[in-house]
Amino acid sequence: HQAQVTIDPAFRVGPVRRRTFGAFIEHLGRCVYTGVHEPGHPAAGEDGLRQDVLALTRELGVSTVRYPGGNFVSGYRWEDGIGPVAERPRRRDLAWHTTETNEFGVDEFMRWCRRAEVEPMMAVNLGTRGIEEALDLLEYCNHPSGTALSDLRIANGAKDPHDIRMWCLGNEMDGPWQLGHRPAREYGRLAAATGRAMRMADPGLELVACGSSGTGMPTFGAWEATVLEETYDVVDLISAHAYYEEKDGDLGGFLACAADMEHYIDTVVATADHVGARLRSRKKIDISFDEWNVWYMSRSMAAGPPEGWPVAPPLLEDHYHLADAVAVGSMLITLLRHTDRVAAASLAQLVNVIAPIMTEPGGRAWRQTTFHPFAQASRYAAGEVLRLAAVSPVYETAAYGEVPLLHAVATHSAEGTTLFAVNRATDRPLVLDIDARALGDVRIVEAVTLADDDFYAANTADDPDRIAPRANPDVRHDPARVVLPPVSWNVIRLG
Ligand code: AHR
């Protein structure tokens, strides 16, 4: 196969936004307990936070972290997670059929954020709760002092306000599985009233309304339109969530999943702009793609909920192989390609639960295959995102029709230009010619590839570097050409 890209700094889409590289910590399975928090672990400090996981989070290049859910937030009482740990109540978490000990709450999360050098993104419960509890949490977190809840935070050891800027108004309220799920109009009114009240306390907050849980939802499109009719003036962003998995051995179809993500973004942007037009508004609503990943959901669903309300059982612990990492890379390319309207995104999730970082309770931590495309994109995407003029062979997929074998984007800054490229072909390499004449006198500085003869090879605690980026030996300079192995994620730096 043969493909060609032309890179021109004039083909500007918009700035690379650090918030594209967000992640997500939910009270789910072992994400919090034995993931980020494990008192007594040899790598844990006095605060119980695992330093090995903190180090990997920093290496991953995570910018924001959404918390505390997910489905969990729709039944959560945030007050349970503050104050002396020994006095915190144990409660059932109806979303995941487990027992929540509340040993970790908002103050521990904020301490973790500071150590991880990430920005928090807080979700409020609009499932079982409403305006008052959202305002209380906001006062506890952000008010400096001199009120009941801000003084309580100070008494609990957090002298300075947490100063959380981004707030999600609930989670997946379109989903029948969600506690407090309700029709779009009802949710939209609740979200608008909650958002307005929160803005009375702090007009500068950035608010996210719940969009659909995926393009497959029966209300997809109509949900966004109705919710935005109610919330347009109040919110800044609307959420999007998407998970993909290989089904029925259709690897080619799976590797094309970002085609759905592209369509998803285009559709939500069109819907939001249509609502804006009808409201005669000049304001634009952007997308917070605050859950995205590969998730073998069919396996999780087949396993059913855990028996006996356990504490932090292993749940949704997908072990990712090379092809999963290539799909993740393709989704990162999609988010970057839409940087003009995707203002934030969160890989779901960060540790153990459908995550790039895995841990053993009491033991090791390691990088899954999916860690690598995320870490590289976060590290090397800088400056402006450039749309490419690309010529690529196509292939036929059952789910998305004709899809190009090459999926790529570039970013450009004074430090250099980076091309991120996926070869979706399963049968052979893709010879990629790079026309970078518009960049002036540049050459390939480095070409790194994530590839393997075994598309289903994964990393384990015993073999943590089985799949890792390696130098691509197949590079030609002048004119620039790189051979992309089949099923591969590639980072090509020019300078
Ligand atoms: O990330 C796992 C779950 O997926 C989240 O709790 C929920 O929001 C989504 O359905």
Rounded to the nearest integer, the mean pLDDT of the chain is 97
Residue identifier of the C-alpha nearest atom 5 of ligand 1: 70
305's tokens: 């909920």
Whether residue 297 sits in one domain with residue 265 = yes
pLDDT tens, position by position, 370-379: 999 999 999 9
Confidence class for position 183, pLDDT limits 50, 70, 90:
very high
| Position 470 pLDDT exceeds 90 | yes
Residue with tokens 């969009």: 211
Whether residue 168 sits in one domain with residue 95 = yes
Helix (H) or strand (E) holding 351: none
Whether residue 86 sits in one domain with residue 43 = yes
User: Which of 64, 43, 47 shows the shortest CA–CA distance to 350?
Assistant: 64
Residue identifier of the C-alpha nearest atom 8 of ligand 1: 70
CB of residue 172 inside a 6 A radius of ligand 1: yes
Confidence class for position 258, pLDDT limits 50, 70, 90:
very high
Q: What's the gap in Å between 372 CA and the centre of ligand 1? A: 23
Burial of residue 465 (CB within 10 Å: 0-12, 13-18, 19+) is exposed
Atom of ligand 1 nearest to the CA of 26: 6
CATH number at residue 456: 2.60.40.1180
CB of residue 291 inside a 6 A radius of ligand 1: yes
Domain of residue 471 covers 3-8+386-494
Whether residue 438 sits in one domain with residue 321 = no
| Catalytic positions, written as ranges | 172, 291
- Mean of the pLDDT values across residues 16-24? 98
What is the total count of domains within the chain? 2
Whether residue 161 sits in one domain with residue 205 = yes
Whether residue 349 sits in one domain with residue 397 = no
CB of residue 230 inside a 6 A radius of ligand 1: no
Whether residue 144 sits in one domain with residue 74 = yes
pLDDT tens, position by position, 420-464: 999 999 999 999 999 999 999 999 999 999 999 999 999 999 999
Confidence class for position 478, pLDDT limits 50, 70, 90:
confident
Q: What's the gap in Å between 388 CA and the centre of ligand 1? A: 33
Q: What's the gap in Å between 171 CA and the centre of ligand 1? A: 8
Structure confidence at residue 70 (pLDDT):
97
Residue identifier of the C-alpha nearest atom 9 of ligand 1: 70
Whether residue 95 sits in one domain with residue 56 = yes
Whether residue 294 sits in one domain with residue 200 = yes
Atom of ligand 1 nearest to the CA of 28: 6
Residue where a domain terminates, one of 380, 399, 433: 380
Sequential DSSP letters for 58-73: HHHT--EEEES-SGGG
370's tokens: 């999916």
CB of residue 71 inside a 6 A radius of ligand 1: yes
CATH number at residue 152: 3.20.20.80
Q: What percent of the chain has pLDDT over 90?
A: 98
CB of residue 206 inside a 6 A radius of ligand 1: no
Structure confidence at residue 301 (pLDDT):
87
Residue identifier of the C-alpha nearest atom 4 of ligand 1: 70
CB of residue 69 inside a 6 A radius of ligand 1: yes
CB of residue 348 inside a 6 A radius of ligand 1: yes
The residues near 109 (Cβ < 8 Å, ≥ 6 apart) are: 25, 67, 68, 120
Confidence class for position 419, pLDDT limits 50, 70, 90:
very high
CB of residue 26 inside a 6 A radius of ligand 1: yes
| Position 116 pLDDT exceeds 90 | yes
Residue where a domain terminates, one of 317, 346, 380: 380
Confidence class for position 278, pLDDT limits 50, 70, 90:
very high
Q: What's the gap in Å between 71 CA and the centre of ligand 1? A: 6
Indicate the residue type of 406. L
Q: Which residue from 100, 126, 171 has its CB within 8 A of the most atoms of ligand 1, so it is best to mutate?
A: 171
pLDDT tens, position by position, 61-110: 999 999 999 999 999 999 999 999 999 999 999 999 999 999 999 999 99
Structure confidence at residue 451 (pLDDT):
98
Residue identifier of the C-alpha nearest atom 3 of ligand 1: 70
| Position 153 pLDDT exceeds 90 | yes
Structure confidence at residue 336 (pLDDT):
98
Residue where a domain terminates, one of 380, 405, 433: 380
Q: What's the gap in Å between 337 CA and the centre of ligand 1? A: 24
Q: In whole angstroms, give the CA distance from residue 126 to residue 187.
A: 8
